[in-house]
Amino acid sequence: MGIVVSLDEPRKEGSKPSLDAIEKIVAEDMHRVNRLIVEKMESRAPLIPQLAGHIVAAGGKRLRPMLTLAAARLCNYGGDRHITLATCVEFIHTATLLHDDVVDESMLRRGQESANALWGNEASVLVGDFLFSRAFQLMVSDGSLKVLKILSDASAVIAEGEVLQLLTTNDTETSEEAYLEVIRSKTAKLFAAAARIGAVVSERPKAEEEALESYGMNLGIAFQLVDDALDYSADQAALGKTVGDDFREGKISLPVVLAWRRGEDEERTFWRRTLERQEQEDGDLEHAIALMGKRRALRDTIERARHYGSIARDVLGIFPDSEAKAAMSEAIDFSIERAF
């Protein structure tokens, strides 16, 4: 059963932001991306399209490839390269999900059984490797060394971020900066690369490339901050994964960092037992959530997300007003307000 914690005052009905606007402006391009995804998942090994197709068909927001498509539209791009590169971005993301679920021993992904729950860890890791390899084939086929550098660098940083997260797991004295370095690497870097690619294929000035990279980076940080708050506050059906996974795995996210830093000795003893030593009992998750509420850890995590969202919105200021700009701005609001 999901544990629902209100993070703020309820919003007025009908005022909730969504991805509808960005989905609308990239709809035709996204259909082409989806066709290319299916085409490039084909393999002599039947398990590859079967397993990869499972996670792709499970849905998800497709926010990262949509950023590439929307950024290209923002920059008035008229070619086809963004289709291949958005597909590449989605393959990188899907590969990381397959690997993540093995590392985390997750049984749910996007509200369905995870690939490793259905096919086992070995198959999930190997198909993830296949998707990474396919992504690099797509990068090379684009023919741009600049694009290859941006996306290959992002892939390396993501892997590094996953290792950094392993190092902070069970360490209750992890600093906020160390936590932020993890999420910049494992989550926000791909958002940044996805958005920057739109300016690169459009051959826009360096200032616009950097603005879109900053937009993606700050949006990605905000997105992950909200994800980490939702792990302690969302309904399982809405979240699409098991609520409290981070707690059970001993992951140190910002809500934990804040609750630890602001807590008294008795509270820190609780965090050491449950997260460092992994000695968890019935009712511990509920107590953890109560302590986070007492120390405003969840609300302040969302406030941090709003801060990074504001930075993402500000950097769009160099672009003229357009449907694409408005849609990318609403994507920021959606990424944060989905917490409510």
Q: Is 170 left (phi over 0), alpha (psi -120 to 50) or beta?
A: left
Count up the domains in the chain and report the number.
1
Q: Which range of residues forms the domain containing residue 222?
A: 20-337
Six-digit token pair at 215? Answer: 């937009």
Q: How far apart are CA 61 and CA 104, in angstroms?
A: 21
Six-digit token pair at 113? Answer: 């059984």
- Residue in the structure block whose two tokens are 């741009």: 144
pTM greater than 0.85: yes
- Residue in the structure block whose two tokens are 């299916």: 38
**What is the maximum span of the chain, computed from C-alpha positions, in angstroms?**
61
Low-confidence ranges of the chain (pLDDT < 70): 1-15, 58-59, 104-105, 107-111, 234-241, 339-340
**How high is the pLDDT of residue 311?**
98
Is residue 202 within 8 A of residue 72, CB to CB? The reply is: yes
Q: How far apart are CA 141 and CA 161, in angstroms?
A: 27
Query: Where would I find the beta strands (DSSP E) of the chain?
Result: 108-109, 112-113
Query: Which is nearest to 260 in space by CA: 168, 5, 252?
Result: 252
**13 in any annotated domain:** no
**How high is the pLDDT of residue 109?**
61
**How high is the pLDDT of residue 14?**
55
**9 in any annotated domain:** no
- Residue in the structure block whose two tokens are 């392993």: 166
**How high is the pLDDT of residue 116?**
75
For residue 309, what is the domain's CATH number? 1.10.600.10
**15 in any annotated domain:** no
Per-residue pLDDT of 123-172, as tens digits, reads 888 888 999 999 999 999 999 999 999 999 999 999 999 999 999 999 99
**4 in any annotated domain:** no
The alpha helices in the chain, defined as continuous H runs, are 20-25, 27-40, 47-57, 63-74, 81-104, 115-119, 121-142, 145-168, 176-183, 189-201, 206-230, 236-239, 245-249, 254-262, 265-271, 284-294, 297-315, 323-337
**2 in any annotated domain:** no
**132 in any annotated domain:** yes
